[in-house]
Amino acid sequence: MEYVLVPVDEYERLIKAEMANVAMAQLEDADTEWVDAADLAVELAGERIAKARKAAGMTQQQLGAKLNLPQSQISRIERRPDRTTVRTLKRIARALGVDVSALV
């Protein structure tokens, strides 16, 4: 096995170039599946809301009762939080004892 010593800045340049090559290969790969960033953000927000609710030991029914909302609305918010108001998200965060930024 042979070794070569190179300056750190040259090594970092080589690593960045290899990372760029890998990224380009993914961009050009027809099998790469692309996800819309906005859709992913909504999905992650819904997951965060459900996770915070479960961490608080609450069911959708219990959270709904605490907020005077039907369970079906809590379910809808967890599936599509982008279709609710900031005010409702703040109420949910307060009811769960978390900052609203932890949910979205």
In the three-class reduction of DSSP (H, G, I as helix; E, B as strand; rest coil), residue 22 is classed as: helix
Helix or strand (DSSP H, E) at 81: none
- DSSP letter, residue 30: T
- Range of 84's domain? 37-102
Q: What confidence tens digit (pLDDT) does each residue in 36-56 have?
A: 888 888 889 999 999 999 999
Q: How many other CB atoms sit within 10 Å of the CB of residue 20?
A: 10
Q: What confidence tens digit (pLDDT) does each residue in 51-88 have?
A: 999 999 999 999 999 999 999 999 999 999 988 899 99
The answer for residues whose C-beta is within 8 angstroms of residue 104's C-beta and 6 or more apart is 45, 48, 81, 89
What does the block give as tokens for 81? 């939080």
What does the block give as tokens for 57? 């030991």
Q: Is residue 89 part of a domain?
A: yes
Q: Is residue 4 part of a domain?
A: no
Query: What's the CATH code of the domain at 73?
Result: 1.10.260.40
Q: Is residue 82 part of a domain?
A: yes
What total of structural domains would you count in the chain?
1
Q: Is residue 68 part of a domain?
A: yes
pTM confidence score: 0.66
Q: Is residue 94 part of a domain?
A: yes
